[in-house]
Structure 1
Amino acid sequence: MGDNGHSPTMCLRRLGHEMRRLREAAGKSIHETSAELEWSTSKISRLENGLTKRPDVQNIRVLCAAYGVTDEQVIERLVTLAREARRPGWWTKYPDVFRSSFVGLEAEASAITTFELALIPGLLQTADYMRAIMRGARIEDPAEIERRIEARLERQRILTRANPPRYWAIIDEAALIRPLGDREAHRRQLRRLAETGPMEHVTVQVLPLSAGPHPGLSGSFVILDFPEECDRSVVYQETATASHLLEEQEDIDRYTALFRRLCDSALPAEDSIAYLSALADRL
């Protein structure tokens, strides 16, 4: 997080949205701005899409001048965003582990809503569970495994920090009964989930196998909501080979409705915690 408490990834995203808004308000296309400043179109589009990792403060001032922005407060706000976007987040220590912008966005979220089809959600995994997943993925180097676990445990601190996000997870029962690691590791993982019961900001629900076919069978997803109205929610999906961030309102609405339908089919939170405790005891 930056010194102002904001994620640098989110600052970069806000900066890009603001620069696009100012360009469009000035009635200019990317090609027109590119020709005027003798910049490449990719330089402008990368900034607007939040892909410029270290935005140049002087470039922000040049763009403001090109767009006719004269309000010094507006300019200084944009410059501050650019400066904060250049600060390293804790996750930048692990570029080999976190390859997308998701963790930087997650760090700013006020609400995290997730459905998991095949695995325990990452923010609720024990170290032994993580280790078993990595071995299943044929990661053999012990040092690499421990480094990845270290990064993931650091990520989990979001749920125990001051002012944590509201976290709501629905987990397919198949992910809970699948053995990963030895029996004791499996039991500890289930108890870790059950221990979320008293946490007021965390809700865990189990989607039982008895629910039959359900709309979540197409895959897992995460919805991130943010505290500032200007920051649009995002949907995150991950596969074995790629990750995707969806930002269109149509996508947000579709996945929000999907989560509600899954919630209706899942066990209530209290019954889910009882189920998790009983399952752990039976192992």
Structure 2
Amino acid sequence: MPQRRAVTSRSQEPRQRFAEEVRRLRERSGASLRQLAEQLGWDCSTLGKLERGQSLGSPEIARALDDYYGTPGLLLALWELAVADPTQFKERYRRYMVLEAEAVSLWHYAVSNLPGVLQTPEYASELLAAGGLTGDELEAQVEARMGRRGLLLGENAPQFRSIISEAVLGTPLSDSEEWHAQLRHLLDTARRANITIQVLQLSAGLHGLSNTNTMFLRSAAGQTVAWIETGYSGELVQDAADVEQLQLRYDLMRDLALSPSASRTFIERMLKEAS
């Protein structure tokens, strides 16, 4: 059988093809990167990294670009192909990212560190650096994590609840000003109608998720899956019986947490004490 030839001169590598299309559409529109950033409300450097293939960004960026260029679903489809590229992410995490982008509600428990969607760039950078990332790889991962924050900020953003262990809030950043900024960011984020933040005090005692960072994602069809992780690995849980057991543990733990109002007061007190 003769070898297939590429129909176009564009890259057949998913990540590079996504970058090429993002750049081609902008150049065809006649907009500069700065003009595009101002129109969309995204950081100019983020859009530049997409075009250079240094970052995949998030599904929210892909959707925003599709809306801007009038190419419904094109860039989002290319983004999904790039994410699905086996050289980019492990299979289970690729599936999780797609489910996260489609979720209508998410609820989370943070046992060791803040969830990525609530982190400031400085928090993300110090956390990822502690895990061994450096240089361009560290910068790209921080950029990607900041892109995922857009998941909670759009007009049709999903409902999100995060229960945060007191131990997380008791582990500050090395720079006190950056830590203050992170705590203020939590308070600001908690004021959004679609976001609920609760604190689980250490005095609440043991519970069924004591050592497991957990995220539940519910789709528009009503299906719920869970993502559980440690500092070394993550696992997507899709079996209905297993998810139900995790949900039961989560519900019992939520009963032990402070109310959203009391949680804001708790974080405000920590901010004052840290100042």
Matched, 1:220 2:210: no
- 3-state DSSP of counterpart to 1:190: helix
Match of 1:202 in 2: 195
> Which of 132, 139, 162 is equivalent to 2:126?
132
Cα distance between partner residues in 1 of 2:198 and 2:255: 10
Match of 2:179 in 1: 186
Matched, 1:263 2:257: no
Instruction: Give the Cα–Cα distance (whole angstroms) in 2 for the partners of residues 89 and 110 of structure 1.
Output: 20
Indicate the structure (1 or 2) with the bigger Cα radius of gyration: 1
Instruction: Decide whether aligned partners of structure 1 residues 98 and 159 sit closer, same or farther in structure 2, where only a CA change above 3 A counts.
Output: farther
Superposed displacement of residue 92, structure 1: 3.2
Determine if contact 2:83/2:89 at 8 Å carries over to the other structure.
no
Give TM-score scaled by structure 2 length: 0.66
- Give 1:216 deviation, angstroms: 1.7
% identical aligned pairs:
27
Aligned to 2:242: 251
The match for 2:116 among 117, 122, 130 is: 122
Which stretch shifts more, 244-253 or 111-120? 244-253
1: CA distance between counterparts of 2:81 and 2:147?
9
Answer whether contact 1:91 1:103 (CA < 8 A) is retained: no
CA distance in 2, matches of 1:271, 1:198: 13
**Unaligned 5+ residue runs, structure 1?**
1-82
Cα pair 1:235 1:251 within 8 Å, conserved: no
Question: For the aligned residues, what is the CA RMSD?
Answer: 2.4
Match of 2:100 among 95, 103, 106: 106
Q: Distance in 2 between matches of 1:197 and 1:125?
A: 13
The 2-side partners of 1:263 and 1:241 are apart by 25
Q: Which of 142, 146, 151 is matched with 1:149 structurally?
A: 142
Matched residue type, 1:265? L
Cα distance, 1:279 vs. partner? 0.7
Aligned residues: 198
Shift of 1:214: 2.1
Question: 1:235·1:245 contact (CA, 8 Å) conserved in 2?
Answer: yes
CA distance in 2, matches of 1:251, 1:109: 19
- How far off its partner does 1:207 sit? 0.2
Residue identity matched to 2:160 = Y
Query: Structure 1 residues 279 and 241, CA, compared in 2 at 3 Å: closer, same or farther?
Result: closer
